[in-house]
């Protein structure tokens, strides 16, 4: 009942170890090697594997959704920079396009369920097409949804693609080739947008006491109270904000996992 966390950033890796020690996420070990250097043999004996683990939001969300630590699962939110509108737009040519390495390990280890997430840009959808094609060729049923953080209590948009690959319900396929357990319809769009630049109202939950700061682009961004101001040379605070920015929105992840558990119960 041991989890494997793969994270190359030393600050985030130590954060993971602290979370494990505190009992906040599934117990396990943290590997700081690149996924390119990990072999299938390295993964023997692990019940759960979390790739590009960040600060372990997937593991935390799995627990919150009722997915026990001893239930097998893989997660992997591949780097979004190659496919983000904020990046250089190198896409599949970017060296940070690491899906082929994750797909290789999936093919070799055959996890029963894999959850993932990616930026919901035009290039992100092209990335998802590749992922779905690869996984279906590897005998997985694949489902995905385009999800907005504002729909789960967060005071910002943060549009993301959440996807799941499942190989445990393939026996339920009908003669038409569609899975009874997972809807084979295309990605569902749940986009939300607004043009107002006024200060947003209060929200429920974690973000009820957030601080609002206006960015250089004129937009307002919520931050956890006490996160700012930044001090030149304070690597601890800069590292923390970077880890936050790379993390999932917990509410989205929990709802997606719960939905999968409901339709496959």
Sequence spans of domains, the chain: 3-194+249-263
Q: Is the pLDDT of residue 226 over 50?
A: yes
Q: Higher pLDDT residue, 66 or 154?
A: 66
Supply φ then ψ for residue 3, to 5 degrees.
-100, 150
Q: Is the pLDDT of residue 239 over 60?
A: no
Per residue in 29-63, pLDDT (tens digit) is: 999 999 999 999 999 999 999 999 999 999 999 99
96 pLDDT band, cuts 50/70/90, is: low
SS3 of residue 225 by DSSP? coil
Question: Can you give the three-state secondary structure of 32-82, one letter per residue?
Answer: CCCHHHCCHHHHCCCCEEEECCCCCHHHHHHHHCCCCCCCCEEEECCCCHH
Per residue in 129-149, pLDDT (tens digit) is: 999 999 999 999 999 999 876
How far apart CA 130 and CA 128 sit, in angstroms, is 5
Most trustworthy range by pLDDT among 5-19, 83-97, 139-153: 5-19
Which one-letter DSSP state was computed for residue 168?
S
Supply φ then ψ for residue 186, to 5 degrees.
-65, 175
The pLDDT score that the predictor gives to residue 177 is: 45
Give 146's Cβ-side CA count (13 Å radius).
16
The 10 Å CB-count burial string (b at 16+, else e) for 6-24 is: bbebebbbebbeebbeeee
19 pLDDT band, cuts 50/70/90, is: very high
The alpha carbon of residue 163 and the mean position of all alpha carbons in its chain are separated, in whole angstroms, by 9
Per residue in 169-222, pLDDT (tens digit) is: 765 544 344 444 444 444 544 544 444 445 555 555 556 667 777 777 777 766
Q: Is the pLDDT of residue 230 over 60?
A: no
The pLDDT score that the predictor gives to residue 185 is: 47
8 pLDDT band, cuts 50/70/90, is: very high
Q: Is the pLDDT of residue 82 over 80?
A: no
92 pLDDT band, cuts 50/70/90, is: low
Q: Report the chain's mean pLDDT, rounded to a whole number.
A: 79
**CATH assignment of 3-194+249-263?**
3.40.50.150
φ/ψ region of 85 (left if φ > 0, alpha if ψ in -120 to 50, else beta) reads alpha
Please give the structure tokens belonging to residue 100.
């082929």
Q: Does an H or E element contain 189, and which?
A: strand 188-189
The pLDDT score that the predictor gives to residue 235 is: 54
How far apart CA 168 and CA 165 sit, in angstroms, is 10
pTM: 0.75
């Amino acid at each position: 009942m041991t989890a494997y966390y793969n994270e190359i950033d030393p600050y985030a890796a130590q954060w993971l170890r602290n979370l494990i020690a505190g009992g906040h996420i599934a117990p396990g070990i943290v590997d700081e090697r690149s996924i390119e250097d990990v072999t299938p043999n390295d993964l023997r004996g692990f019940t759960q594997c979390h790739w590009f683990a960040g600060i372990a939001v997937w593991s935390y969300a799995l627990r919150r959704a009722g997915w026990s630590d001893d239930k097998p699962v893989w997660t992997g939110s591949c780097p979004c920079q190659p496919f983000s509108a904020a990046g250089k737009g190198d896409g599949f040519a970017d060296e940070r396009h690491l899906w082929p390495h994750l797909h290789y390990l999936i093919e070799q280890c055959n996890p029963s369920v894999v959850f993932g997430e990616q930026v919901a840009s035009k290039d992100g959808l092209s990335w998802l097409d590749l992922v779905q094609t690869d996984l279906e060729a590897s005998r997985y049923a694949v489902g995905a949804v385009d999800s907005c953080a504002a729909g789960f209590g967060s005071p910002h948009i943060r549009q993301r693609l959440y996807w799941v690959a499942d190989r445990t319900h393939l026996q339920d396929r009908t003669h038409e080739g569609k899975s009874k357990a997972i809807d084979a319809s295309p990605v569902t769009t749940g986009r939300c947008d607004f043009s107002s630049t006024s200060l947003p109202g209060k929200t429920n939950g974690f973000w009820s006491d957030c601080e609002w700061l206006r960015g250089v682009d004129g937009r307002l961004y919520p931050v956890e109270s006490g996160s700012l101001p930044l001090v030149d040379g304070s690597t601890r605070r800069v590292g923390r904000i970077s880890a936050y920015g790379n993390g999932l929105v917990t509410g989205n992840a929990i709802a997606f996992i719960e939905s999968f558990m409901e339709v496959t119960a």
